Amino acid sequence: GDRFPVSEPVAKLRDRLRPPDTRQLGLQAAGSEDSGLVVVQVACLQWICLLLADSPQQMLQKETMKELFMPIFENLMHPHDQVVIASLRVMAQIMEAHPVEELTIEDFFQDRCVDSFTAPRTSPTVDLFTKIVERLLLVFSNQREMLESRGRLMIRQLCGHLDPRRLYVTVARAIQQEPNKDFAQKLVQTFNWILLTAAETRRLREELLEESQSHPQLLQLASLPGSSAGSTAEVKPLFLELLEPWFHNPASALALCLWSQQYDLASELTARFASFDPTLEFLQQLDQLVMLIESPIFSRLRLRLLEPRQHPALLKCLLGLAMLLPQAGAFQALTERMQLVQSSLLLEAREPAPKSGDWWGQDKRTLELKALLETFDKVSHA
């Protein structure tokens, strides 16, 4: 339970979190003084964390949150990473909390525009977690340089403090409603890179792999044994939660498919890349994808190339990528890797061919796969 009144310390902490405007001059003229202010602000944010843990009922009251939330949120734009990291820790505690009285985003931003990041929702009862995530995405939308310079740091911190699955599903659903296609593409690229590389998202990568080997919908999509046309699951698999929003960035969607072992879909997406304008940005994204495939985290995928007869769609996907890339560093890395497949074919030469039929000629497109490809065509050409 709550141990002592928090109104007095909250007022003092609020004042400390809102330094005077002259502080901006200090950033340029007095480095040591600014360092002291940073220490004070970080300490204040740590105190708020302690108060939230010790006296949650008082701290999560509407009036208390009205005083503290905006100073905490504004510190996400602070020039020092230590303050940003401490602010995100407090934000995460608020987002995960179970307040005694109902809190809405309007309570926190009552003197500012409260337009949501996404299109207006039909349901007025959207949870606080979702609203705060959407508000953060709105900041990224208005300040693109913040997404470029600090986006990965902030997202990794949130994944470390929150349930990363809930965070990613919330972001994916917001991206699906985002009208600015360029911003949606940047968001997908940033979140996808963190998903496939960061230590904080390791659980999500493991979940994607487990789903690919056991979830009926994904087995059916990949035309693998164990699938059932009538099978349904109570919880939508993470791969399908992310896939359609990820279509806003085709290279990221392809990386997600490759990691989740959806090689048939990956091969189909690669074939569609030929119809895209070969812009410098798109070619750079493909280059980064190849570097990701060559990284240690994708060693499982590369080992599957030792069994090309068992994974023909994977081989076709990677060969397609090699055909699309200009003959530069990424092309050389990929072609050298594919040359090793010839040895794998020799190893399998004495083994019988798969019963599934011809490698390249068989149409394995299930109804689910065809529907996803139609959605990809619609999103990628919007």
For 88-135, the pLDDT digits (tens) are: 999 999 988 876 566 666 666 654 444 444 444 434 456 889 989 999
The pTM for the full model equals 0.83
User: Comparing 47-56, 100-109, 129-138, 161-170, which segment has the lowest mean pLDDT?
Assistant: 100-109
Mean of pLDDT over the chain: 81
Residue recorded with tokens 């390249």 = 360
- Buried/exposed code over 249-283 (b: 16+ C-beta within 10 A; e: otherwise): bbbbbbbbbbbbbbbbbbbbbbebbeeeeeeeebb
**pLDDT value, residue 104:** 66
Q: What tokens does 236 get?
A: 């939508």
Phi, psi of 270, deg, nearest 5 = -60, -40
pLDDT in tens, 218-233: 877 766 665 454 444 4
144 versus 67: the higher-pLDDT residue is 144
280 versus 30: the higher-pLDDT residue is 280
| CA trace torsion 207, 208, 211, 216 (10° rounding) | 150
CA-based nearest residue to 62, from 9, 89, 13, 100: 100
Q: Please check whether residue 257 is in contact with residue 266, taking contact to mean a CB–CB distance below 8 angstroms.
A: yes
Contacts for 241 with CB less than 8 Å, ≥ 6 apart:
168, 169, 172, 173
123 versus 288: the higher-pLDDT residue is 288
**pLDDT value, residue 27:** 45
**pLDDT value, residue 209:** 94
DSSP string, 232-300: --SS--HHHHHHHHHTTSHHHHHHHHHHTT-HHHHHHHHHHHTTS---HHHHHHHHHHHHHHTSGGGHH
Amino acid type, 91: M
Tell me if residue 378 falls in helix, strand or coil. Answer: helix
CA distance 298 to 291: 10
215 versus 280: the higher-pLDDT residue is 280
